[in-house]
């Protein structure tokens, strides 16, 4: 089998993947983390989904309507995934608001300014990065905010007795905890090049770009992602304070 510049595509690769999945599941089981089966199913889903995307993507990028439909599909999955972590019932679809609020304006700025190409092969991965970041930010902020309101219910009631509106009382309690959801993105941006070399940078280098070009692309991605996630967190906190998400 042939090899790429990053991964050697040999006959041993499937064996290595199986061993890594088994190792992750074993660690989760022995450490009583409660996610043994989830590790296995997540890896299986990743293999299936990436296989399907690899087959479909070549056709999708050739048609603008297909590109838009593919991005909408990613958005729908991101909304459902984040929503079910925060809320129950129909209220889970409110998660689509912060994800869209973070992704749409940032993606629009990148496209309108010409910072990124309008070709589908460029728009789809950039949109995916932004949607993925907003999904994570929304999930973390939503869970931390709702948990904080449940655990500190007495403080919310005390604020109400002092004349705070329900929204303002909730914000005073949940906003500091929810704001911690931005820490992973901040750490990633602060330590890029010192601790990790992210995918966009490595991918550009493998594709033949110069280190400077790769660095510029990665900087754009990180700054855009940070702006998108900050927006998603802000909107998520506002929605939690207004009672849009059911308490778990």
Q: Which run of H or E residues covers position 192?
A: none
pLDDT at 1 over 70: no
Integer Cα distance of 65 and 59 in angstroms: 11
Residue 2's pLDDT band (boundaries 50, 70, 90)?
Answer: very low
> pLDDT, tens digit, for every residue of 165-208?
888 988 888 999 999 999 988 998 888 877 777 777 777 777 77
Q: What is the mean pLDDT of the chain?
A: 87
Q: Quick check: 145 and 174 in contact, CB under 8 A?
A: yes
- Helix H, strand E, coil C: the string for 124-175 is HHHHHHHHHHHHHHHHHHHHHHHHHHHHCHHHHHHHHHCCCCHHHHHHHHHH
More reliable by pLDDT, 247 or 100:
100
pLDDT at 14 over 90: no
Q: Which residue has the tokens 């906190």?
A: 237
> Which range, 59-68, 95-104, 114-123, has the best average confidence (pLDDT)?
95-104
Integer Cα distance of 113 and 136 in angstroms: 26
pLDDT at 245 over 90: no
């Amino acid at each position: 089998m042939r090899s790429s510049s990053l991964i050697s595509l040999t006959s041993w690769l499937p064996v290595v993947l199986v061993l890594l999945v088994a190792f992750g599941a074993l660690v989760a089981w022995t450490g009583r983390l409660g996610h043994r089966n989830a590790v296995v199913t997540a890896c299986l889903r990743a293999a299936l989904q990436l296989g399907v995307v690899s087959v479909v993507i070549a056709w999708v990028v050739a048609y603008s309507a297909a590109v838009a439909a593919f991005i909408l599909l990613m958005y729908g999955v991101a909304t459902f995934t984040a929503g079910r972590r925060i809320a129950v019932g129909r209220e889970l679809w409110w998660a689509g608001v912060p994800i869209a609020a973070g992704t749409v304006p940032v993606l629009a700025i990148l496209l309108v300014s010409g910072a990124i190409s309008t070709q589908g092969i460029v728009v789809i991965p950039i949109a995916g990065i932004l949607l993925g970041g907003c999904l994570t930010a929304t999930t973390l902020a939503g869970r931390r905010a709702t948990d904080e309101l449940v655990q500190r219910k007495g403080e919310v009631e005390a604020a109400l007795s002092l004349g705070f509106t329900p929204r303002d009382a909730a914000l005073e309690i949940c906003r500091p905890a929810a704001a911690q959801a931005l820490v992973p993105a901040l750490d990633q941006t602060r330590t890029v090049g010192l601790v990790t070399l992210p995918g966009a940078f490595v991918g550009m280098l493998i594709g033949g770009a110069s280190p400077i070009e790769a660095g510029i692309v990665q900087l754009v991605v990180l700054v855009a992602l940070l702006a998108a996630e900050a927006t998603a967190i802000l909107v998520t906190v506002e929605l939690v304070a207004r009672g849009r998400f059911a308490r778990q």
